[in-house]
Every structure is written in structure tokens, then in C-alpha cells.
């Protein structure tokens, strides 16, 4: 394994990516040909009459654009029936996607081809990252959790995309080669209880504090969650180090055994960490204090993760924040090849060799566009927004992922895209159209009143209340401290005024939509939401706070409603 680490040639990865992206159009054709040839015997493709043709024109003429709903019956069948339904070689594993952004969990076919693309994308991002931010042989404090034990159903293993990646026999060596082996033992990553796993990740980070060169997670939320937990539990962690005895809260025997091998009484280290924590003002600059050799913080920080960047920066002080990749349980899409760009402006370069990509031009937000005419990877236009569609080697053909991206430029001939939002509307009552992005902007603007009071917005979500006519928007906020009713009433008015979509503004003026309500929830409410999702099997590593609670998500709505401590009604349009 050591040999593999030393032989890994990052310059070669960059050269290869430069070469591939200079010839993106042909690479795309070749990728499509390979996918169609390898899966020619799949029932799905056979029924569409491709008859062995693999060119993009025939492909588009024969194969329809689909959403998850269209493929669901096939996927349900392949779970019970190990025949070549969507892929030439029957699928043996299925990932349960978090579904936190859309509400419904999805079963996604998974195979070794997807693992290969995972390694490719990690290597590409790492090669560019390492060029700008070189790290020596060190370790990563990675908040990765694989708590969802895979179960077998029919002939197929049901897991999560992250569990499928972390559990792959090639994962450990891939991470070694990327100079990012986790500080935590395997038993901690594969814990059946994520609270215990998290506590031990933090403990391992402290024990190996000098070796930690990067702090990472799949989605940035996990890092924030981890260090909010640290703020609560740090004295207990320090005590474990001092005494060399693991807290009794860790009950999983395999974790206790693994951790006891690492833990020896170390009062000197305990005192040092204690002093450092006490010396910080409101935890500003916590990361470099705890981990003196940390070079960067890394994870997905765009889209739904952007609201956590302020808090990450607070913990990170001067340490740079690097957003990593763009992908989904269904498949990877793009790498960040300009890691110096801050998350707010980050773009991702599409990897033309990992899937066949198409882009549906927007606008078609209301779904009325009759004919969807996707364009190819190299035909997109700078400044335009598109819904992303891909065909991958794990049985998804012309699959509409449901994400909207904007083309910001090109890396050679492959587009550099910015994630904009999920394609579905989030908040709509009548003629109003507000996306998750509009909500984010409105929340960002209104929360400035909190910042003036040195109060943080911990998390937020929204809900359409139609219980009485006319309906209205409800925004739920969890905030870090107490502030006056006056400030919160101002926030509420500002939220209402910051939805500038003409449909909303008009409806508000003529009272077709009632006054927006801001409901402040008790501290810890969003943690309860995370826990309720984890209890239903959502992987912590892929957790995203749902930004709108649908009427069918009664559990989450109930948690929110049960924890409201204050509410305010907007007077912005009175």
C-alpha cells in the first residue's frame, strides 16, 4: 500500500484531465459508446430498439428523458430479480439516497463502475487541490459515517452511496494515495451509532492533532455538526485524554476496543487542549488552535451547504475553505479544479469521461415547456441555466437529476458549472414562484439583523401554511441566543420583503397571499430533525436540512411545531 502512495502521480492526473477536457466532445461520444455497448443486453435498452447503435443521435431518438419516478418500477424489480434489467451485468447493490433535498428517498443502482468514477473524481479534485495547497504525508480528520448497516434484500445489498464508497475494499488505499487517511479507526467510521462515532472522530482528531492536515466531510454540514458537538462535549473529551479512559457514553464494544488501543493517560495534552479552548473567544479560530498543521477544510460547501460557510469560517480563522466535488447518489458530475476560489464563487468542471451529460435549457420552472430539447456537454452557453441530465454506467439513461446549474465558463472544452438549486419550486401558493435559492437569499438578507446583535442563525426551513385562506409562508429559524422582539419583528418583515419574485409581491399586495410568519424554534430543534431523519435510515454523511417541509412530512413538521418559542407576523405590506 505504501508503494501505491508513493507512486501516485498527481501531475499525471492533471495532465490527463487537461487532455480529456480538450477533447470533451469526443470523450463524451466514447463514454456513451462504452456505456451502451456494455449494457446492450439490458432489458431496458433492448426494449427501446437501439439495436446496437451507440451514436448520440440514435440514442436521443430512441431513449426518453426520465425522472426517478419513471425508473422506479425497474429499480424495484431489480432488487428482487437478479436479471439484466437496467444494466448488462445485473446490479448487486442499491444505494438509498438521502432524499433530504426532495423529501422522498430513492433507491439508486450502484456498481463497481460508480466506485471507479468516485476514485476518479476524488483524484482529480485532489490533484488540483494539492497543486495549490500541498500537504505532506499526514492524516485527515474526516467526519465520515457509515452507520447504516447494509441489509440484503433479494439478491441485492441495500446501503447508502457513502456506505458503498467507504465500504469498498479499494476505499482505504484510494484515501491513502490521496494523502487523506482518516485519523479514526475503521470501527469508528463503521459504527452503528453515529453519536458515538462522532465523539470518537473528535477524540481521534485531538489525539493526533499534530498529524491532522485537513478536516473534511462529504457535505460541510457534518463538520459544523461535529464542532457544535465539540462546543458541548469538549471537557469530557479532554477528561478522556487526561485519564486515558474512554467515556462511558461509548457503549459499542468494537469501538471501545479500537479506541482503548489509542488512548493512554496524557495529562499534558489534556491541559494543552483545555488551555487552548479556554483561551478562545466564542470559538473563533478553533481549527488552527486544535490542529496546528491543518492546511485546509474541505467538503461540499455550495448550494444547500452555503449557509454554513460563515460558521465554518469562524472556526477556521485564516485556514482556507475548499469546496470539493459535485455529485449525487446517482453519480458524480464535476470536480473543483480552482480550489483557491472561495465557496461563494466556486464552480465545478464536468468530468467528460464519467458519464454522458445533457443539459436542458431553462426557463421551464412551471413545467409548461412542451418540448425539452437538451444540448450536449460542449454546446452549453456561458451565463445560461440548465437542468442536468446524465447517462451513467450503472443503469441510468437520460436521467433528470433535478438540479439546476449555471454555466460560468469552460475548462478547455468542458463546462465549469455553478450549482444553482434543485429544479422544483420550493415555495408556491398561487402565482408566486420561489426556489430554494430565493429562500436562501431572503434568509441571508434578513439574518443580517441578527449578525448586528452577534446572534447566529443556526439553521432554517420553511413551510406553506394553507390551513386558512389565503395561505402564507412560514419560516422557521433556530438562533444561537436571545434577542429582542423588535429585532425579530424586523427580521420577519425583512424576510417578507426580500422575496422579490413579482408573483409573490403582487399576491402580497392584493392579499392573495397572507403575511409571512417567522417562527423561532428552541435550540436543538434542527438536531432533533437530523436525528429523526437518521432514525429513518438517512445517512448522516449525506444529510441536508430540508429547506421546505412538505405537507406529507408530518414528523418533521411536528418537531418544528412542537418547538416554536416565539412567532412574528410580517407587517411589511400593511
Q: List residues near ligand AMP by CB under 6 A.
A: 97-98, 101, 161, 300, 302-303, 326-329, 401, 403, 419, 422, 542
Task: Return the closest-CA partner of residue 58 out of 89, 29, 38.
Answer: 29
CB nearer to ligand AMP: pick between 238 and 350: 350
State the nearest-atom distance from the C-beta of 14 to ligand AMP, in Å: 20
CB nearer to ligand AMP: pick between 263 and 334: 334
Taking only Cα atoms into account, the Rg of the chain, rounded to an integer number of angstroms, comes to: 24
**Residue 470: cis peptide before it, omega within 30 degrees of 0:** yes
State the nearest-atom distance from the C-beta of 528 to ligand AMP, in Å: 20
Q: In sequence order, which residues have a C-beta less than 8 Å from that of residue 131 and are 6 or more positions away?
A: 10, 14
Contact 530, 143 (CB under 8 A): no
State the nearest-atom distance from the C-beta of 299 to ligand AMP, in Å: 9
CB nearer to ligand AMP: pick between 201 and 418: 418
State the nearest-atom distance from the C-beta of 330 to ligand AMP, in Å: 7
CB nearer to ligand AMP: pick between 180 and 349: 349
CA distance linking residue 439 with residue 498, whole number of Å: 9
Alpha helices in 179-281 (DSSP H): 186-189, 194-207, 221-243, 253-260, 267-279
CB nearer to ligand AMP: pick between 84 and 303: 303
CB nearer to ligand AMP: pick between 89 and 102: 102
Q: What do you get for the CA distance between the two ends of the chain, in Å?
A: 68
Task: Return the closest-CA partner of residue 571 out of 518, 506, 501.
Answer: 518
Report residue 7 as a C-alpha cell: 507512486
State the nearest-atom distance from the C-beta of 387 to ligand AMP, in Å: 11
CA distance linking residue 72 with residue 54, whole number of Å: 25
Strand partners, 359: 375, 388
CB nearer to ligand AMP: pick between 113 and 436: 436
State the nearest-atom distance from the C-beta of 43 to ligand AMP, in Å: 25
Measured in degrees and rounded to the nearest 5, phi and psi for residue 107 equal -100, 120
State the nearest-atom distance from the C-beta of 399 to ligand AMP, in Å: 11
3-state helix/strand/coil string of 437-483: HHHHHHHHHHCHHHHHCCCCEEEEEEEEECCCCCCEEEEEEEECCCC
Contact 413, 23 (CB under 8 A): yes
CA distance linking residue 415 with residue 159, whole number of Å: 32
Q: What is the DSSP letter of 79?
A: H
Contact 350, 26 (CB under 8 A): no
State the nearest-atom distance from the C-beta of 145 to ligand AMP, in Å: 13
CA distance linking residue 226 with residue 194, whole number of Å: 11
CB nearer to ligand AMP: pick between 329 and 391: 329
User: Among all residues, whose Cβ is closest to ligand AMP?
Assistant: 303
Q: What is the DSSP letter of 344?
A: G
State the nearest-atom distance from the C-beta of 381 to ligand AMP, in Å: 21
CB nearer to ligand AMP: pick between 90 and 327: 327
CB nearer to ligand AMP: pick between 206 and 401: 401
State the nearest-atom distance from the C-beta of 341 to ligand AMP, in Å: 13
Amino acid at each position: 500500500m505504501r508503494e501505491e502512495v508513493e507512486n501516485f502521480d498527481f501531475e499525471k492526473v492533471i495532465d490527463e484531465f487537461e487532455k480529456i477536457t480538450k477533447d470533451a466532445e469526443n470523450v463524451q461520444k466514447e463514454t456513451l459508446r462504452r456505456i451502451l455497448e456494455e449494457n446492450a443486453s439490458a432489458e431496458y435498452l433492448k426494449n427501446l430498439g437501439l439495436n446496437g447503435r451507440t451514436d448520440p443521435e440514435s440514442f436521443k431518438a430512441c431513449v426518453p428523458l426520465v425522472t426517478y419516478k419513471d425508473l422506479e418500477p425497474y429499480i424495484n424489480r431489480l432488487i428482487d430479480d437478479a436479471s439484466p434489467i437496467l444494466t448488462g451485468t445485473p446490479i448487486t447493490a442499491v444505494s438509498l439516497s438521502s432524499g433530504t433535498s426532495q423529501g422522498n428517498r430513492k433507491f439508486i443502482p450502484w456498481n463497481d463502475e460508480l466506485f471507479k468514477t468516485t476514485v476518479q473524481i476524488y483524484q482529480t479534485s485532489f490533484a488540483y487541490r494539492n497543486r495549490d495547497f500541498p500537504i505532506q504525508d499526514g492524516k485527515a480528520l474526516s467526519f465520515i459515517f457509515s452507520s447504516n448497516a447494509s441489509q440484503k434484500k433479494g439478491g441485492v445489498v441495500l446501503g447508502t452511496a457513502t456506505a458503498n464508497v467507504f465500504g469498498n475494499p479499494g476505499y482505504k488505499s484510494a484515501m491513502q494515495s490521496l494523502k487523506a487517511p482518516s485519523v479514526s479507526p475503521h470501527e469508528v467510521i463503521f459504527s452503528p451509532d453515529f453519536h458515538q462515532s462522532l465523539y470518537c472522530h473528535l477524540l481521534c482528531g485531538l489525539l493526533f492533532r499534530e498529524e491532522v492536515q485537513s478536516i473534511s466531510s462529504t457535505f460541510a454540514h457534518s463538520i459544523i455538526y461535529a464542532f457544535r458537538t465539540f462546543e458541548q462535549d469538549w471537557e469530557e473529551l479532554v477528561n478522556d485524554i487526561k485519564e486515558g479512559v474512554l467515556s462511558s457514553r461509548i457503549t459499542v464494544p468494537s469501538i471501545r476496543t479500537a479506541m482503548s488501543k489509542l488512548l493512554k493517560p496524557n495529562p499534558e495534552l489534556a491541559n494543552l487542549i483545555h488551555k487552548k479552548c479556554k483561551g478562545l473567544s466564542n470559538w473563533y479560530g478553533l481549527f488552527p488552535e486544535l490542529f496546528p498543521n491543518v492546511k485546509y477544510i474541505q467538503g461540499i460547501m455550495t448550494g444547500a451547504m452555503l449557509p454554513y460557510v460563515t460558521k465554518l469560517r469562524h472556526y477556521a480563522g485564516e485556514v482556507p475553505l475548499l469546496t470539493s466535488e459535485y455529485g449525487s447518489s446517482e453519480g458524480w458530475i464535476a470536480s473543483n479544479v480552482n480550489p483557491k476560489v472561495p465557496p461563494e464563487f466556486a464552480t465545478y468542471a464536468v468530468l467528460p469521461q464519467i458519464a454522458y451529460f445533457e443539459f436542458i435549457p431553462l426557463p421551464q420552472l412551471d413545467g409548461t415547456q412542451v418540448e425539452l430539447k437538451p444540448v450536449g456537454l460542449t454546446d452549453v452557453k456561458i451565463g445560461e441555466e440548465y437542468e442536468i441530465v446524465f447517462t451513467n454506467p450503472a443503469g441510468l439513461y437520460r436521467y433528470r437529476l433535478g438540479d439546476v446549474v449555471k454555466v460560468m465558463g469552460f475548462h478547455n472544452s468542458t463546462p465549469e458549472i455553478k450549482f444553482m438549486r434543485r429544479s422544483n419550486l420550493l415555495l408556491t401558493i398561487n402565482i408566486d414562484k420561489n426556489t430554494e435559492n430565493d429562500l436562501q437569499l431572503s434568509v441571508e438578507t434578513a439574518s443580517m439583523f441578527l449578525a448586528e446583535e452577534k446572534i447566529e442563525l443556526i439553521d432554517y426551513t420553511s413551510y406553506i401554511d394553507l390551513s386558512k385562506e389565503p395561505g402564507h409562508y412560514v419560516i422557521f429559524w433556530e438562533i444561537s441566543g436571545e434577542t429582542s422582539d423588535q429585532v425579530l419583528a424586523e427580521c420577519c418583515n425583512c424576510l417578507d420583503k426580500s422575496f422579490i419574485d413579482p408573483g409573490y409581491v403582487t399576491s402580497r399586495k392584493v392579499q392573495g397571499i397572507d403575511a409571512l410568519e417567522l417562527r423561532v424554534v428552541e435550540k436543538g430543534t434542527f438536531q432533533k430533525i437530523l436525528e429523526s431523519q437518521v432514525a429513518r435510515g438517512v445517512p448522516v454523511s449525506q444529510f441536508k436540512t430540508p429547506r421546505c417541509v412538505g405537507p406529507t412530512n408530518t414528523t418533521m413538521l411536528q418537531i418544528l411545531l412542537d418547538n416554536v418559542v416565539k412567532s412574528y407576523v410580517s407587517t411589511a405590506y400593511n
